[in-house]
Amino acid sequence: MKQLLSGNEGIARGAYEYGVRLASAYPGTPSTEIMEYVGERYPEIKAGWAPNEKVALEVAAGAAYGGARAMACMKHVGLNVAADPFMTLSYTGVNGGLVIVVCDDPEMHSSQNEQDTRNFAKFGKVPCLEPSDSQEAKDLVGEALKISEMFDTPVILRSSTRVSHSMSLVETQDRAEGPRELGLKKDPMKFVMLPAMARKRHPIVEQRQKDVASFADTFSYNRIIMNDDSLGIIAAGIAFQYAREALPNASFLKLGMSWPLPEKLIREFASKVKRLVVIEELDPIIEDAVKLMGIKVEGKELTGLCGELSPEKVEIALMGSSKAKSIGSIDIELPLRPPNMCPGCPHRATFTALKKNKVYVAGDIGCYTLGALPPVGMLDNCLCMGAGIGIAAGLDRSLGELAKGKAVAVIGDSTFFHSGMTPLLELAYNGGSTTVVILDNRTTAMTGAQPNPGTGFTLRADPTISADIEKLAEAFGFKRIRTVSPYNVKETEDTIREELQTDEPSLIIARAPCALLKTDRILPDKPLRIKADVCKGCKSCINTGCPALEFVKIEEPAEGDKRKGYSRINDALCVGCRTCQEVCKFDAIEEAS
């Protein structure tokens, strides 16, 4: 049966068809939907959100140690979090099949960096497979599991934004259970990585690399496609699709396994073409390896190291010009539409209160990262998941009075559970006077409102525990813990001011559900209106950054009217959060009749 599936749907379907018994993940674009599809469509798979990617990989590794086929899913920066178990899993091996799905984000559509996961495959000495469409996304899950079991290794399945989110036809089949016998297997020499055991495992890993490289020469998803021999292109994943569309008459070595590389196949292909070029996004992984083989090849000097490729970019890089016009290109200039927090977002109210205290804000990853943009402009650094608390603590301890009462950390509830608990414990342990604000909107909003350990629900909406942040902070040793409603801007502002003046670590929990949640809503959904004759045009409401607020310029003011304009509320967008009403000094905002 054929179905039209996205790459992420194809990966989820592959997990089902090829007998995955357990799947674990942390949401992160462009990988999020994989686990959502598993949860929605395939009850045969034990599936759930983990607090972070490290835990997700460890849970999946446990299943594989027991002989089960398992899958862990994350985006590229998530593999940084999971790097500790990942590197040693290469030594222990896995027993059952283990596929680690990692989705890269060239062009950084929703990411803080543009790293290339193939470096981790090379670094960890594990195979890496790359699908180029949804059919291969499904099929290569099965191939990854087979290779994992054949060579006793975890296998990376590397997708990218375009493969994950593009759709193509997929031939589906019924589920088949994994081949291994399930059970608890005692083998400390293999699975306990004390130095003495690890030293014995390292040569095994090196020999496995050679064995997998030999296998790569016969792997069916590595194949030569001969056309015109004047140009030969080596490519994998979405880069193959770009190159094939741009230069259909060229010859290709299409790689389904991008690490380790099939040296014999590469040499054979190179001998058949007059000009050899590697087309790959981001780092020159394939190009460098081909050069080390002593083969003359072109690559990054043509396509560059940064951003996404496209058929047009490939054609220009190789031919000097392009006959094609970029898909979606238009001849008119559209106004800029920067990302913005939603109308009624509780984070906007918290940032408004922070702004009134004129503080330096150490930020984190989530919807609230948008607080860095004007007119809010209240996020001063953002490094990685969970870093804001540690950075604020470092500023406080190193700058002393220079930072006293001027610096805070902000972090969302899901990010807190992901990697904010350990820096909060560090803050309690080592002291200082840092104030931390947890923006608890009761969901993992940035990636599509997935549940987290604080929401009381699992991936499949089954009731579960709801982690208590207040009790957790109390157990860590915090004595100053305050909970506020961010929509009460004045109370939140005063609370922040009070905590900034303390000489010990303090925690403020700004708790209000995401404005987009269908359940747990507290907003009235009754739009407000601004009395144009009362509004002074001071823009205090506009500076909250709410998309429902507009500023109307007065072109021809009435006699005595010195205003340049006045604010207006778009009642189609307003959800009645009243943040603008809270900051208005002139009582110009009221509930619409």
User: Known binder of ligand: residue 367?
Assistant: no
Which of 225, 543, 577, 224 is closest to 377 using CA atoms?
A: 543
580 marked as binding residue: yes
Alpha-helix residue ranges (DSSP H) falling in 515-569: none
* Alpha-carbon torsion angle 226, 232, 235, 241, nearest 10: -60
Rounded Cα gap, residues 554 and 564, in angstroms: 6
Helix locations, 323-420, DSSP H: 346-356, 387-399, 413-415
Q: Could you tell me which of 50, 106, 49, 97 has the C-alpha nearest to residue 76?
A: 106
Q: How far apart are CA 339 and CA 17, in angstroms?
A: 38
The CA-based angle 70-71-73, given to 5 degrees, is 160
CB 129 within 8 A of CB 158: yes
Q: Is 584 annotated as a binding residue?
A: yes
Non-local (6+) Cβ contacts of 446 within 8 A are: 29, 365, 366, 367, 369, 412
Distance of CA 554 to the CA centre of its chain: 44
Question: What is the CA 83 to chain-centroid distance, rounded?
Answer: 15
How many CB atoms sit inside 10 A of residue 44's CB? Answer: 14
Please give the span between the terminal C-alpha atoms of the chain, in angstroms, as a whole number.
Answer: 55
Nearest to 194 by CA among 265, 91, 72, 332: 91
User: Residue 268: in which H helix or E strand, if any?
Assistant: helix 263-272
Cβ-contact 579, 352 below 8 angstroms: yes
Q: Which token pair is 511?
A: 């708790």
The token duo for 225 is: 């496609």
Kindly state the tokens that stand for 423.
Answer: 């820096």
Output DSSP code: residue 417. I
**Is 535 marked within a binding site?**
yes
CA contacts within 13 A on the Cβ side of 130: 28
**Which residue matches tokens 């981001």?**
282
175 DSSP assignment: -
382 annotated to bind ligand: no
Rounded Cα–Cα distance for residues 140 and 20 (Å): 13
Question: Annotated binding site: which residue ranges?
Answer: 535, 538, 541, 546, 574, 577, 580, 584
Question: Annotated binding site for [4Fe-4S] cluster: which residue ranges?
Answer: 535, 538, 541, 546, 574, 577, 580, 584
